Amino acid sequence: MSAPVLSVVVLSWNTKDITLACLAALRADTPRHAREVIVIDNGSADGSADAIAEHHPWVTLVRNAHNAGYAGGHNQGARLARGEFLCTLNSDTEVRPGALDVLVDFLRDNPRYGAAAPMLLDVDGGVQRACMRFPTLLTALCHDTWFSRFWPGSAIEARYYMRDFDHLHDRDVDQPPGAAFVIRRAEYLALGGLDEELFLFFNDVDFCRRLRRAGRLIRYVTAAKVVHHGGASTRGYGDFVVTWHRNRLAYYRKHYGGWVMPYLRAIVRMRALQEAIALRRRHRDPDDQRAALADLARCRREILAR
């Protein structure tokens, strides 16, 4: 059997319905470039793997006994893939017909570019402004804190979220939407794939940064469109907050060095204080307040644990 041009890797973790919808959209597409679809089920407990096998026997299904994470699952799929190009695709997406072919064509026609990503759409057709610039040390201070409410913190936050870009035309970007990302498979593997220390978050940011450091450009392509049910693939993850913060700390340590860690831990403590004040206002019942503050303290300890 000849090798496909594009290998699409979809992760599944307790998202049965949206994963089935994602695969149905891929099945409904009639690609010009030969394609294979690999689904890595990360130890789902909701019957996802059996449902995928029943409704989509045409995919290559891998059943992991445990959750290998976003980075580990995609790396696993990339090693199994046979295509010249690789697409890492979130399970909470529905690819519009022809979208992935457009991205493959762009990379074939533009060898200076290492990766390409589509426009993401809400279910109602609205454009998601999902491209971002690489986070800086000032981004860490301002993101989701009191500082973002006032200038210059608000300007730093606006720069990070690319609020100066309407997302309605093509352009080179630092970090495109990670929900659908196409790259040459050989280049993905040569860069070592996604960093598995960044279990769930910031692995796409780190990969884009390494790609850019290698001199490769990344393109946001509006002719390729993908519907994205934002956050649906991670909403049920119980340790979301702790994992997000720990992955962010690991990302900054990797790219700025260990000297930044006291600064970042101070920001975590400040953010926890901000949340504690909000919780006291939100919970008037003393028992509810104590329980919420105890949970916050647990999260802070786990985030700051070495």
DSSP string, 220-255: EEEEEEEEE-TTTTTTT-TTHHHHHHHHHHHHHHHH
Task: Give yes or no: residues 28 and 89 share one domain.
Answer: yes
Task: Give yes or no: residues 44 and 20 share one domain.
Answer: yes
Name every residue whose Cβ is closer than 8 Å to that of residue 264 and which is 6 or more positions away in sequence. 140, 248, 249, 252
Is 237 among the domain residues? no
pLDDT tens for the 306 residues of the chain, in order: 578 999 999 999 999 999 999 999 999 999 999 999 999 999 999 999 999 999 999 999 999 999 999 999 999 999 999 999 999 999 999 999 999 999 999 999 999 999 999 999 999 999 999 999 999 999 999 998 888 888 999 999 999 999 999 999 999 999 998 899 999 999 999 999 999 999 999 999 999 999 999 999 999 999 999 999 976 555 555 588 899 999 999 999 999 999 999 999 999 999 999 989 989 888 888 888 889 899 888 989 988 986
Task: Give yes or no: residues 13 and 159 share one domain.
Answer: no
Query: Which amino acid, 201?
Result: F
Is 37 among the domain residues? yes
Task: Give yes or no: residues 155 and 143 share one domain.
Answer: yes
Is 239 among the domain residues? no
Task: Give yes or no: residues 148 and 118 share one domain.
Answer: no
**CA-to-CA distance for 296 and 268, rounded, in angstroms?**
12
Name every residue whose Cβ is closer than 8 Å to that of residue 265 and which is 6 or more positions away in sequence. 249, 304
pLDDT at residue 260 in the model: 95
89: enclosing H helix or E strand:
strand 85-89
Is 234 among the domain residues? no
Task: Give yes or no: residues 275 and 184 share one domain.
Answer: no
Task: Give yes or no: residues 113 and 262 share one domain.
Answer: no
pLDDT at residue 210 in the model: 98
Residue keyed to tokens 């690999």? 38
Task: Give yes or no: residues 16 and 85 share one domain.
Answer: yes
The tally of CA atoms less than 13 A away on the side-chain side of residue 82 is 9
Is 219 among the domain residues? yes
**CA-to-CA distance for 271 and 29, rounded, in angstroms?**
45
CA 302 to chain centroid, in Å, comes to: 22
Distances (CA, A) of 227 to 18, 89, 90, 258, 283: 12, 11, 11, 39, 37
Task: Give yes or no: residues 189 and 272 share one domain.
Answer: no
CATH code assigned at 96: 3.90.550.10
pLDDT at residue 110 in the model: 98
Is 268 among the domain residues? yes
Of 228, 247, 277, the residue at which a domain comes to its end is 228
Task: Give yes or no: residues 44 and 177 share one domain.
Answer: yes
**Count of C-beta atoms within a 10 Å radius of residue 282:** 11
- In the chain, how long is the greatest CA-to-CA distance? 66
Is 250 among the domain residues? no
pLDDT at residue 26 in the model: 98
Is 244 among the domain residues? no
Count up the domains in the chain and report the number. 3
Task: Give yes or no: residues 26 and 149 share one domain.
Answer: no
pLDDT at residue 237 in the model: 55
Of 164, 182, 210, the residue at which a domain comes to its end is 164
Is the N-terminal amide bond of 152 cis, ω within 30° of 0? Answer: yes
Domain hosting 298: range is 257-304
Task: Give yes or no: residues 159 and 199 share one domain.
Answer: no
pLDDT at residue 229 in the model: 92
3-state SS assignment for residue 35: strand
